[in-house]
Amino acid sequence: MDSVTQHYIIDLSSNNNYVQVPAVEGDGHSVRYMEIELIQNGVPYVVDPSTTSITIMGTNAAGSEIWNFGEVTSEGYVKFELTYPMMSAPGRGVYQVALMSTETNTQLKSFPFYVIVAKAALDASEITESNEFQVLSDLMGEVENLYEEAEGIVERAQEAAQDAEESEIAAEEHATNAATSASNAAASALNAATSESNASASASNASISEQTARTKASEAATSASNAAASETAAASSEKNAATSETNAAASAAAAASSETNAAESEQSANEAMTTAVASASAASASEQNAAESEANAAESETNAATSEQNAAVSETNAETYAIAAESYAQGGTNTRPGEDMANAKYYKEQCEALYENIGGSLVPMGTIYFADLASVTPQAGYSYNIIDAFTTTSDFKGGAGISVPAGSTVYRTGDGYWDILPGGLVTGVKGEAESSFRTGNVEITKANLGIADAINVVISSTEPSQSENDYWIQDYN
């Protein structure tokens, strides 16, 4: 919902009775504002916000005292919120703009103007009124901002914790992959060893077959030699020759059979040799696969270590954010300068203390003499307008011995003291020749003003006794 701002002109040098600001009973909480253009005899009056405290003070239609801070806009106007207490009762409230210098301890107030509060269609009830309502609202706003900042830090801490958990899961996955790769490498190495064993067995079988072929060839040669011997014997004996011829034919057949067996054995040896070469190639491929699996296992192990390191960093960040969240929430971590007085818990306690100190609101109890103040029943938040000038006692928050002018307002604090509302109280007096302010019943002399050597002018009908610094004028009347 957009707020409503109305512009008015207030003259610091003349009557402002014509200025009447309209409002509605029960409105408030940053919905209505008045923007005031200050002038002096028709000329714009410039306010320096760095050296001036801007306030609005007065009474609402019910007679309750109101005092709120304002601000200076970029156009040089002063702006005030029409607060809830200002519009709590229908009728006419009387207000003034008060400018208080923070350098010279002086105050300038405008002539009064009026805020006319129209009665609401539905009566408002149980409205809490407080001179310091706006100050308390500002302090509560600071607490809310600090809580939001603390919540943001907690959220970032939770995100960091989530990242840490995800990194830890990734580390576990990389570790599992590393174990799988290592297992595959071991299996490949086992297969390589088996293939190498098979190649060795095939080579051994080839060697045995070759030896068998050589044995068969040797037997064939022996048979051929026997045939020749038999043929020689046949020449001497025909009978023996026929027998030898028969034996020779048998031996020749045996030799041919042995030669065939030798060829088959040689072919088996070649086949076994080919099988051995293939087994050796397979063993080499298995060895290469085992090396690649071992490299993959090492890479997975490295990735697992990196993920574990990232998880540790994320966990550290989560702890850092958690400590920062505690610092902004309640302090006590010794990580920020002044954190024990700049945290959400401290501001909350200050708000509660301020609320208890003023008793929730100031309650005007009327106008009395200072001597009667001792006979009233003290109640936190009760305020009295003091008719006569007085000097504070030890019952006052600022201590005893402070001179206070007539018409000042005092109120009871929550810790059992009387205190004086600001406005109209001169806290000290200083002549031009003096270096510090004096309080109480102060006498100003020529020495205080820096004119100690100035002559005294005496007007008299008779001649006075002259002193060194007196200059007298005869009064002929």
417-446 pLDDT, tens digit each: 999 987 545 667 788 888 888 876 788 888
Q: Does residue 358 register a pLDDT over 70?
A: no
Question: Which contiguous run of DSSP H or E holds residue 457?
Answer: strand 456-460
Query: How far is 18 from 199, CA to CA, in rounded Å?
Result: 118
Q: Which percentage of the chain shows pLDDT scores above 90? A: 31
Rounded mean pLDDT, 343-349: 79
**Which is nearest to 318 in space by CA: 187, 137, 168?**
168
Q: Residue 149 — very low, low, confident or very high, per pLDDT cuts 50/70/90? A: confident
**Residue 231 predicted with pLDDT over 70:** no
Q: Give the 3-state secondary structure of residue 191.
A: helix
| pLDDT score recorded for residue 176 | 79
Question: pLDDT tens for residues 305-332?
Answer: 887 887 788 788 778 878 988 888 888 9
pLDDT score recorded for residue 99:
94
Let me know if 130 is exposed, middle or buried by CB neighbors in 10 A (0-12, 13-18, 19+).
buried
Distance, CA of 250 to CA of 160 (rounded, Å): 97
pLDDT of residue 161: 74
Output 441 or 19, whichever has higher pLDDT: 19
Q: Which residue type occupies 30?
A: S
pLDDT at 128: 44
Q: Within 13 Å and on the Cβ side, how many CA atoms surround 336?
A: 17
Six token digits for residue 94: 């009387």
Q: Which residues pair with 363 in a beta bridge?
A: 382
Higher per-residue pLDDT: 465 or 440: 440
Check residue 237 and give its pLDDT: 46
For the question of whether the overall pTM of this predicted structure is more than 0.75, the answer is no
Indicate if the pLDDT at residue 348 is higher than 60.
yes
User: Which of the four pLDDT bands, split at 50, 70 and 90, describes residue 95?
Assistant: very high
pLDDT confidence bin for 270, thresholds 50/70/90: low
Please state, in angstroms and as integers, the Cα–Cα distance from residue 374 to each residue in 198, 213, 307, 362, 365, following that order: 117, 140, 76, 19, 14
d(CA 380, CA 358): 6
458: region left, alpha or beta (phi > 0 left; psi from -120 to 50 alpha): beta
> Predicted confidence band at 73 (pLDDT cuts at 50, 70, 90)?
very high
- 3-class DSSP state for residue 98? strand
Which among 113-117, 146-150, 174-178, 355-359 has the top mean pLDDT? 113-117
Q: What is the predicted pLDDT for the residue at 238? A: 56
> Could you tell me if 201 and 316 are in contact, meaning their C-beta atoms sit under 8 angstroms apart?
no
Cβ pair 85, 133 in contact under 8 A = yes
Summarize pLDDT for 103-141 with one digit per residue, the tens.
Answer: 888 999 999 999 999 998 876 454 444 454 455 556 666
Better pLDDT: 367 or 429: 367
Question: What pLDDT is stored for residue 364 in this prediction?
Answer: 93
Share of the chain above pLDDT 70, in %: 63
Question: Rounded to an integer, what distance in angstroms lies between the CA atom of residue 467 and that of residue 477?
Answer: 24
In sequence order, which residues have a C-beta less than 8 Å from that of residue 282 and are 6 or more positions away?
195, 199
Residue 18: partners with Cβ closer than 8 Å, 6 or more residues away: none
119 DSSP β-pair partners:
none
CATH 2.60.40.3350 fits 4-121, yes or no: yes
DSSP β-bridge partners for residue 391: 403
Average pLDDT across the chain, whole number? 77
Tokens linked to 309: 């390191």
What tokens does 202 get?
């095939």
Helix (H, G, I), strand (E, B) or coil at 330: helix
pLDDT of residue 127: 42
Q: The tokens 């109480």 sit on which residue?
A: 440
Which of 12-21, 50-59, 68-77, 219-228 is predicted least confidently? 219-228
Residue 190 region by backbone torsions, left for phi larger than 0, else alpha for psi between -120 and 50, else beta: alpha
Output DSSP code: residue 90: S
pLDDT of residue 244: 44
Residues 6+ away with beta carbon under 8 Å from 13 = 40, 41
Selected residue with higher pLDDT from 454 and 22: 22
Quick one: pLDDT band at residue 177, thresholds 50, 70, 90? Answer: confident
Backbone φ and ψ of 32, nearest 5°: -125, 135
> Which of 164-168, 453-457, 461-465 bottoms out in mean pLDDT, i.e. has the lowest?
461-465
Q: What is residue 446's predicted lDDT score, i.e. its pLDDT?
A: 81
E strands, 41-112, where? 43-44, 52-59, 65-69, 71-72, 78-81, 91-101, 107-109
Question: Which pLDDT band, with edges at 50, 70 and 90, does 473 fall under?
Answer: low
**What span, in angstroms and rounded, lies between the C-alpha atoms of 329 and 347?**
10
